[in-house]
């Protein structure tokens, strides 16, 4: 008989498995740890797209989940077990993401990963620059973040829910406007000939 794992358990195992693989198999060196999630102290990691909802992970020991989920102003925050968040941050260290942290968000940033821990803040940005090591590290970090975020449930109270329909409609309008601009530029580049 096979035991099925809850999605959260599967993602935690995936994260720790990735950490073990990054560190090397069987007794190899451990991942470098840039920071340690402290029980009772808040460690908050947020993915902030330029045009989209802000997704947040917060360590479980920093506040009771019922308190976090009762906040009406932050419906996309998820509380995750401290070891799970620690594994994610260790993966970031293994990807050498901490070396790519920037002091502030530049105006051309498309996405931001923001880590607040122990009174300090680390910022990583995606600018859309090809062949940039910082861009590649950001893409990996975002994928790890989303794996943990999507693998955890949140139990927010109240009637309000995030309005994904209007967000989807906004994205569709933006995409159509971009396509129209592209068609216009193509016509202008061809001397107006289609």
**Is the pLDDT score of 31 beyond 90?**
no
- Return d(Cα 78, Cα 55) in angstroms, integer: 8
137/185 same-domain check: no
3-class SS of residue 168? helix
**Is the pLDDT score of 114 beyond 90?**
yes
- Return d(Cα 187, Cα 172) in angstroms, integer: 23
**Pairing outcome for strands 77-80 and 55-59:** parallel
Q: Does 4 map to a domain?
A: no
154/180 same-domain check: no
182/98 same-domain check: no
**pTM reported for the whole predicted model:** 0.67
Q: Does 2 map to a domain?
A: no
160 against 59, higher pLDDT:
59
Q: Does 94 map to a domain?
A: yes
Q: Does 117 map to a domain?
A: yes
- Return d(Cα 182, Cα 189) in angstroms, integer: 10
Largest CA distance in the chain: 69
Q: Domain containing 172: what range?
A: 163-194
193/156 same-domain check: no
49/139 same-domain check: yes
Q: Does 93 map to a domain?
A: yes
Q: Does 3 map to a domain?
A: no
Q: Does 143 map to a domain?
A: yes
Taking Cα atoms as reference points, which of 70, 74, 40, 35 lies closest to residue 57? 74
110/81 same-domain check: yes
Q: How confident is the model at residue 120, as a pLDDT?
A: 94
Q: How confident is the model at residue 84, as a pLDDT?
A: 94
175/109 same-domain check: no
Q: What is the pLDDT of residues 54-66, one digit of tens each?
A: 999 999 999 888 7
What DSSP character marks residue 42? -
94/184 same-domain check: no
The residue written with tokens 């122990």 in the block is 118
Question: How many residues comprise the chain?
Answer: 194
Q: What is the pLDDT of residues 69-91, one digit of tens each?
A: 777 677 888 999 999 999 999 98
For the chain, the domain total comes to: 2
Residues 156 and 81 sit within 8 Å (Cβ to Cβ): no
- Return d(Cα 45, Cα 56) in angstroms, integer: 6
- Return d(Cα 66, Cα 72) in angstroms, integer: 12
pLDDT > 70: percent of the chain: 76
Structure tokens at 193: 């000939």
- Return d(Cα 64, Cα 115) in angstroms, integer: 20
42/109 same-domain check: yes
**Is the pLDDT score of 52 beyond 80?**
yes
128/41 same-domain check: yes
122/68 same-domain check: yes
52/133 same-domain check: yes
Q: Does 193 map to a domain?
A: yes
- Return d(Cα 77, Cα 154) in angstroms, integer: 7
């Amino acid at each position: 008989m096979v035991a099925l794992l809850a999605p959260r358990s599967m993602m935690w195992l995936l994260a720790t498995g990735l950490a073990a693989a990054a560190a090397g198999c069987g007794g190899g060196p451990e991942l470098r740890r840039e920071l340690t999630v402290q029980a009772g102290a808040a460690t908050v990691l947020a993915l902030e797209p330029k045009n989209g909802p802000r997704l947040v992970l917060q360590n479980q020991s920093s506040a009771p989940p019922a308190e976090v989920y009762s906040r009406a102003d932050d419906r996309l925050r998820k509380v995750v077990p401290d070891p799970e968040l620690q594994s994610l941050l260790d993966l970031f260290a293994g990807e050498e993401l901490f070396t790519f942290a920037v002091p502030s968000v530049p105006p051309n940033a498309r996405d931001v990963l923001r880590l607040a821990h122990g009174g300090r803040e680390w910022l990583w940005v995606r600018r859309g620059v090809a062949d940039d090591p910082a861009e590649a590290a950001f893409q990996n970090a975002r994928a790890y973040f989303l794996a943990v975020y999507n693998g955890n449930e949140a139990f927010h109270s109240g009637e309000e829910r995030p309005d994904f329909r209007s967000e989807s409609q906004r994205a569709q309008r933006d995409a159509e406007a971009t396509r129209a601009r592209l068609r216009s530029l193509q016509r202008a580049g061809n001397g107006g000939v289609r």
